[in-house]
Amino acid sequence: MYDYLVVGAGLYGAVFACEAKKAGKKVLVIDKREHIAGNVYTEKIEGINVHKYGAHIFHTNNKKVWDYIGQFAEFNRFTNSPIANYKGEIYSLPFNMFTFNKMWGITAPKDALKKINNQKEEITGTPKNLEEQAINLVGRDIYEKLIKGYTEKQWGRACNELPAFIIKRLPVRFTFDNNYFNALYQGIPIGGYTKVVSNMLEGTEVKLKTDYLENKTYFDSIARKIIYTGAVDAYFDYKFGPLMYRSVRFENEILNIQNFQGNAVVNYTDRETPWTRIIEHKWFEFGKDENGRDFPKTVISREYSSEWKIGNEPYYPVNDEANSRLYEKYKKLAEQESNVIFGGRLGEYRYYDMDEVIASALTAAERELK
């Protein structure tokens, strides 16, 4: 009999399993995929750690979380500075003085502020949706060129039908600072995320290609408690109807050149380009392998966003009003499952960042294992 069956070998599951094992518990981790690490999974291609399920840049203000993950890997000094490509025009992200200079030719912060203040006059009252929130933050010019197309591609919905909070993730600065995150700690684990998760799971029994929901009765019988990190609606057999997710498809290419785009992340913010962004993975590690040698080739991934259908991998919960209401119904059911802890992006239907996932798993572990 296991003390804990952890369903899903992603970050949430791995952190919980690691803590439970440390506390002397007997733990089994299962995952339906053929690899550990969930969507933070990285795989070496041409020597480069490729983020197979999209770019993951670790960033946090939470010292406890930073120290925690630091036990499992050393981090490099990568700072995320994505670039926006709007019909061939290049802009700096997040929105800062470099962006304002390129957009309006201004050089002084007070002039940028004036421009934005003028443009945001069209919004009266509290912004009710992403479009209003965006215009209120940076004005209409930036909204039209750098936000509207990208957001509509990423979410498959009009900006005035999306919740305002999505855009609050992005900083707006009146300084010349291209650092995408307002985080005290930031970097990419040297050697890749798969190694981090594998270190977390060291000494714990893991079974891959094993689907919990297909054999739920059996799995429930072999453990005292379940940590479930899969989709919450799938757990309840979509009883109230499926929650919506966005899925992502990647087209990976190995190119026989050293440098394709000169940056790890380039966002294509116009509506016409079918992909949302292109990742050039080698720049997450400064183009060099662990011995300091330049990678001779490069690997790029074009990212296409699509609506999730049963059978696809879900990536982003669509936290609009209808889905949030639907989730509340599932949450009530989840709370009644006294033997199950629902965790992570899919288990809690939340647009969590990695550090939030770790913090949440640590809190659950502390509560559970005390």
Footprint of ligand UDP (CB under 6 A): 84, 93, 146-147, 150-151, 154, 166-167, 169-170, 267, 269
In terms of C-beta density within 10 A (0-12 exposed, 13-18 middle, 19 or more buried), how is residue 286 classed? middle
Whole-number minimum distance, CB 276 to ligand UDP, in Å?
8
Smallest gap from Cβ 140 to ligand UDP, in A, equals: 14
CB–CB of 198/73 below 8 Å? no
Q: Quote the least distance from Cβ 93 to ligand UDP, whole Å.
A: 6
Residue with smaller CB distance to ligand UDP, 94 or 347: 94
CA angle 171, 185, 246 (to 5 degrees): 55
Residue 20 makes CB contacts below 8 A (sequence gap 6+) with: 3, 4, 6, 27, 365, 368, 369
Concerning whether 169 is annotated as a catalytic residue, the answer is: yes
* Shortest separation between residue 322's beta carbon and ligand UDP, angstroms: 18
Q: Given 169, 224, 293, 325, which residue is catalytic?
A: 169
Of 277, 280, 316, 349, catalytic: 277
Q: What is the C-alpha separation between 343 and 364, in angstroms, rounded?
A: 9
Annotated active-site residue in 31, 353, 355, 356: 353
Task: Give yes or no: 351 in active site.
Answer: yes
Closer to ligand UDP by Cβ: residue 53 or 219:
53
Active-site residue 294, yes or no?
no
Q: Would you state the torsion angle of the CA atoms of residues 173, 177, 183, 185, taken in this order, to the nearest 10 degrees? A: -170
Inter-CA distances, 293 with 47, 48, 204, 290, 331, Å? 11, 11, 34, 7, 50
Q: Is 140 labeled as catalytic in the residue annotation?
A: no
By beta-carbon proximity to ligand UDP, the closer residue of 72 and 86 is 86
Q: Establish whether 157 is a catalytic residue.
A: no
143 is catalytic: no
Does the annotation count 353 as an active-site position? Answer: yes
Per the residue annotation, which of 68, 132, 173, 180 is the catalytic one? 173
- Cβ–Cβ under 8 Å, residues 247 and 308: yes
Cis peptide before 94 (omega within 30 of 0): yes
How far apart are alpha carbons 329 and 335 in whole angstroms? 10
**Which run of H or of E encompasses 98?**
helix 97-104
CA atoms within a 13 Å half-sphere pointing along the CA-CB vector of 166: 25
Tell me the two tokens of residue 222. 């072999």
- State the catalytic residue, choosing from 246, 268, 348, 356: 246
Q: How far is the CB of 183 from ligand UDP (least distance, A)?
A: 12
The dihedrals phi and psi of 79, each to the nearest 5 degrees, come to -120, 125
Least Å distance, CB 182 to ligand UDP, is 12
Relative to beta strand 223-228, strand 2-7 is parallel
Closest distance to ligand UDP from the beta carbon of 324 (Å): 16
Other residues' Cβ atoms within 10 Å of the Cβ of residue 241: 10
Q: Output the CA–CA distances (angstroms, integers) from residue 297 to 44, 281, 333, in the order listed.
A: 13, 11, 50
- Token output for 58: 């670790």
Report the catalytic residues: 169, 173, 246, 277, 303, 351, 353
